[in-house]
Structures are given as C-alpha cells and as structure tokens.
Structure 1
C-alpha cells in the first residue's frame, strides 16, 4: 500500500496513531498486502502483454503512429506495476524477517540497515504511485487539449519532465522534512509531518478533483465534433460518444475505489493523533474505523495496477504471444503501410476506437473530414483494444 504512515513508522519515536495501526496484526496485514500486490502485478502484466488470439495483419487497416495518450496509459501501468513490486518486496521482507520491525521499534537501540530498508522501500512505493497520479492527470489534460484545441499530438517529453520532476521533488522534500534531523531521531510535531502528508496526497486529490472536470469537458467537445461533421447526430455517433464516456467513467471509478479509503483513514488517524489518549473508550468506534480502512487500503491500493488495465483496455485474455517471429511480422506490416499513409491527405483514417465495429463506422464517417476531427478521435482511441471476431480476442495497437 502507499501510505505516508509507513514512512512515519520508520521513525523510532513515531506518533501513537501510527504505532496503533501499523502494529495491529502485522502478519495478517503483510500477508494481505503481499497477496493483493502479487495478484495485481501478475494480472497487470498479463493484460499488457501481446496476445496470440484475434491476431490480424496491420495492413487491413492503416493505423496512425501511437499518440501520446497511448504512451501515457502504458506508462501508468508500468508505474503501478513497479509500485506493486515495491509492496511485494517490503511485505515479503517484513513477513520473513520480523526482527527488522522489532529493530526499528526500539527507540534507543536502532540498527542502521532496518531503517535504510524501511525508508528505501517506502520511498520507492510512494515515488511510483505518485508518478502514476501525475500521469493520470496528464492523460486527462492531453485528451482535453487535443480534442478541444485541435493542437495535434501532444509531446510526451513535456509530460515526462512534469510528472517525474514533480514526483521526485515532492517525494524528496516530504521525506527530508519528516526525517529531520535524522532517521533515528525524527523531529516530532505536526509541523514536520504535515508537509510529508501533503506531498503524498496532493497529486491524489488533484486527480480526484481535476480529472472529472477535464473528462466532462472532453466529452462535451467530442459530442460537438461528432455533431459538427454533417450537422446531424446519428445512432453510431451516439454510441461512439457513449463508449468514450464509459471509458472515462471506468478510469475515475477505479481511482476512486483504490484511493478514497486512504483519505478517510488519514482523516481518522489525524483525529486520533490530536487526542491525548487514543486508547480512551470514547474513541473505540473511530479506532475500529481506522483499522478497517487500513486493511482496505492494504488490499485496494496494489489492485490499481490490474484494475487500471481493465479500465483502459478491458479484459484481454490469457493467450499471451511472446513469439519474436510474430513481432517481426507486425513490424514489417507496419512499415509496409507507412508509404500509403504518408501519401494520404488524412493519415489518421484507421481510428482504433474501442471496438472493431466502431472502427469500421468511424472509418466510413471520417473519410474526407477535417484533420481536427481525425486527431481528436485518434487520441481518444489510442491505447484501446480491437476485437477481431466473435471471441473478442484483443490485439493491442498502442505499442
């Protein structure tokens, strides 16, 4: 899980609220987080690997070069997978070597390496999940800018600078404030802990607040584009807009389910931390709610890796294709279709919007239309899966 409480736990002189939740049933909690992270990582990798079923030659439909939005979706999945890997390593070590936790818990007799592992694993997890938050925000901004302003395919380099720069900067700044003057003797007081919590939850709150706004405005712009083609709004175009709306809704639903428990839990723990005695009988319900949300976080936070791939692409199946021959054939087909595409006035004809039936309708409707409509639809379609045949076997077109 990704919680600043686990970094606070690395301090021997940690606060009572952090001590309360982290030391409650640590073996059960570690096993749950380990199992959730392992399942999420396995299925997320299974989702993004190329599949053998439903394979078709790319020459059937001329496809554009992957837009920045498709790369953003892929990078989000990679960040989630790396975050899950950090959770797996940390939970495995804590379960296999419980003495590490005991060493950190002794105030005046703390060894160096347990603290180094505790801080290093916590920073690794926070960094990649924070980067995932920033990339999710950039995805909403990217699709909105391209659809609304017809600015063409946005640059991915700028997004890399923003996301990784902010993720590293905030992570280092928050940890530096928390562990001042040293890890073995962390400065106590909310004035040192609050900056760390703000740097952790700021990108999360940004996605929860800003992304729905960008997605709603993007849907409105897409509807206007579809109506503006011929002045009519047909059933196929309505289905197309509805599929885009559902896709955005799934992305936000996954984010909401995985991370709102963190905000609830942090609010409860802050309330307990402000009390003189958190073990008072009057706070029993609040303590129970904090423990329940703590375990929910341990299960749902790592599951974002797998659930995000479902929101992005749907279920892609088990039939993984790792054949080098097939990938070479895909590359050759892609090269063979590049010449006709370059000669065409509208290079983005074969939009890969959600499903093959929609693709065929979009191809018919976008022939001869303006570049603005084509760019907008191609960006929204990037990173999706095409279903070829009745078995709904996907082929990823974003790589």
Structure 2
C-alpha cells in the first residue's frame, strides 16, 4: 500500500496513544501485512510478465506506430510497478518477521519505516506519471507527432523524486515526531502537505487520461475513415475495440487508486473522530489494489497483434519461432 496514512505511522513512538494512532496500529498487524505480502507477490509476477520481450505486426500503419511507441512506455511502467511491489514485499516480510524486528531499536525501526515509505511512494509516483505519458503519447502518435522519450524519462523519474523528498522532509524533519507537536493545528500542518503531494498526481491522471483517450478515440475514428474512404461495420468494430481498451485502462487505474483518494477525504473530513471501521476497510482495499496495479496493467495494456517471444528459442528454416499467442 502506498498512502500518506502509513507514512505518518512512521512517526509513532511508544507511549503516545491517540485514537488515530490506535487505528494505525493495524499497519503492524499480521493480517494486514499478509494481505500486502500476497498482493505484492501477485504484482511482481504481473510486472515481470509485462516486461517479457514481445513482437507484433499489423497491416495498419497507425496501429503499428502506436503499438511500438506504447510498448516502450509500458515496459518502463512495468519496471516501476515491479520496484514498487518489491518495496511493499520487503516491508511486509520484515513486519512479519519478529526476529528481524527485535534486532531494531526504536530509531532503527523509524529509519526502516521511512526508507520503505520513500521507496514505495517514489516508484508508485513514477507509475502514475508513466500512466499519464502513455495517454499523452497515444494522443501525439495519432497526430503524427514524434515521441518525446527523453522528456518523458526526465519528468517521470525526476519529478517524483522532488515530490517524495519534499513531502517526506516536511513530515520527518527536523525530527520524526509528527504526532506529538503540542497542538492539533501544528500536527495538521505537518501532515497535510504530504497528503496533497501524494494525491495531486493521482487526481491529475484520473482527470487528464479520460480526456486524452477521448481525443485519441476521435482521432482513430477520423484516421480509419480517411484512410479507407469508408466507415463500415468492420471499421466501426476496430474503433470500438480501441475505445474499449482505453476504457479498461482508465477503469484499472481508478480501481487501484480511487480508494486512496477516498481515504484522504475521510481522514480530513473526520479529523477529530475518524471512523475506525471505514478506515480499516479502505486500508485493506488499498493493501490489495495498490500492488495489483501491475497485474491489471499486464492485462489492460495488451494488444492482440503482439506475442511473447522466448529469447532462448532457436530459429532456423525448419524450426518455427517459438512464441506464445498471448495478447500484448
């Protein structure tokens, strides 16, 4: 799970108990970390599957162009998903291993918590931006504009680093004691910036991507109609299939990250009396859905004209290329 709620729990010190902290203690529970562990393993498998080498062909030039360009972005998205899921996996393993936790003193426990929080937030932030730039590049490709991979890489890897460092620095510096600042207003101001820094990129993708995909769908309609000088049932089926795929991409992102936004709204709307059952339900949903983004991405970013190619297969005149007819 990647959320400011679990990041603020890193500030918790024994002997300080509030209603919010008593709810957050669930982050250390066996059941919660088992859920995170299982979902992160599934996410790791999904990301690795997505990164397997593929080849594809199509008789439609626009389809081949968007497929090749999109594939580059999808691989980087899968890499970021893999690293984020690995972070969730490592945090869960340590939390579930009492012998490891007993070696840590309080300060070392906080340091480990902060490092894992930064790792997970950073790489999930990278996935959000790659998700955005996939939509941007589809829109550009359909307008015959060149890819801007250097710009995409610069923004997706550098901007999350700046945002993560800024949000967590405000939260943990000059000391990781953000729950005991002497007043509710001071605590409020200490925690709020990191929530905004985390949620604004998610909300941006949720707003921008549907708009970009609608524009791209309209472009595909025009391209198909202009290239073939007709728009029969067959061409309509092609456009509808692309629109459906774009819709599933948006749906997958919403399913994975909308619970995080709802969690933020609930926390700040009920700051003085947080609803325990509602928050715990949301946290378990997030523990499942956040790492599963990698699995969903391996499904929704598929293309029927691409096949997995096994690099260890041999190719000669008598042996056909060993491939798996799997979408994407």
TM-score range, shorter chain: 0.7 to 0.9
Tell me, in whole angstroms, the C-alpha distance in 2 between the residues paired with 1:295 and 1:12.
20
What residue ranges of structure 2 are gaps of 5+ in the alignment? 317-322
Q: Report the TM-score when normalising by structure 1.
A: 0.70
Q: Report the TM-score when normalising by structure 2.
A: 0.84
Q: Is the 8 A contact 1:46 1:320 kept in 2?
A: no
Tell me, in whole angstroms, the C-alpha distance in 2 between the residues paired with 1:49 and 1:267.
38
Answer with 1 or 2: which has the greater Rg.
Answer: 1
Q: Is the 8 A contact 2:43 2:81 kept in 1?
A: no
Residue in 2 that maps onto 1:115: 110
Tell me, in whole angstroms, the C-alpha distance in 1 between the residues paired with 2:190 and 2:243.
42
Tell me, in whole angstroms, the C-alpha distance in 1 between the residues paired with 2:160 and 2:167.
11
Residue in 1 that maps onto 2:203: 205
Pick from 166, 172, 181 the counterpart of residue 179 of structure 1. 172
Tell me, in whole angstroms, the C-alpha distance in 1 between the residues paired with 2:82 and 2:221.
34
Q: Are 2:38 and 1:35 equivalent residues in the alignment?
A: yes
The one-character-per-residue Cα deviations of 1:146-189 (angstroms, maximum 9, x if unpaired) are 21x321x3121110011112111100000111112112567542
The one-character-per-residue Cα deviations of 1:296-347 (angstroms, maximum 9, x if unpaired) are 111111111111110011799xx98351646xx8xxxxxxxxxxxxxxxxxx
3-state SS of 2:292 partner: helix
Matches within 5 A, 1:101-180: 111-147=106-142, 149-151=143-145, 153-180=146-173
With over 3 angstroms needed to count, the CA separation of the structure-2 counterparts of 1:185 and 1:46, relative to structure 1, is closer
Q: Is the 8 A contact 1:33 1:87 kept in 2?
A: yes
Question: How far has the Cα of 1:227 moved from its partner?
Answer: 1.4
The one-character-per-residue Cα deviations of 1:258-298 (angstroms, maximum 9, x if unpaired) are 111111122222233x21xx3xxxx7xx3211111111111
Question: How far has the Cα of 1:89 moved from its partner?
Answer: 0.2
3-state SS of 1:10 partner: helix
Q: Kindly report the root-mean-square deviation, in angstroms, between the aligned alpha carbons of the 2 structures.
A: 3.3
Tell me, in whole angstroms, the C-alpha distance in 2 between the residues paired with 1:258 and 1:97.
30
Tell me, in whole angstroms, the C-alpha distance in 2 between the residues paired with 1:91 and 1:297.
14
How many pairs are equivalent?
A: 311
3-state SS of 1:150 partner: coil
Q: Is the 8 A contact 1:77 1:305 kept in 2?
A: yes
Pick from 18, 21, 33 the counterpart of residue 19 of structure 1. 21
With over 3 angstroms needed to count, the CA separation of the structure-2 counterparts of 1:39 and 1:315, relative to structure 1, is farther
Tell me, in whole angstroms, the C-alpha distance in 2 between the residues paired with 1:306 and 1:82.
14
Q: Is the 8 A contact 1:80 1:132 kept in 2?
A: yes
Question: How far has the Cα of 1:96 moved from its partner?
Answer: 0.4
What residue ranges of structure 1 are gaps of 5+ in the alignment? 104-109, 330-387
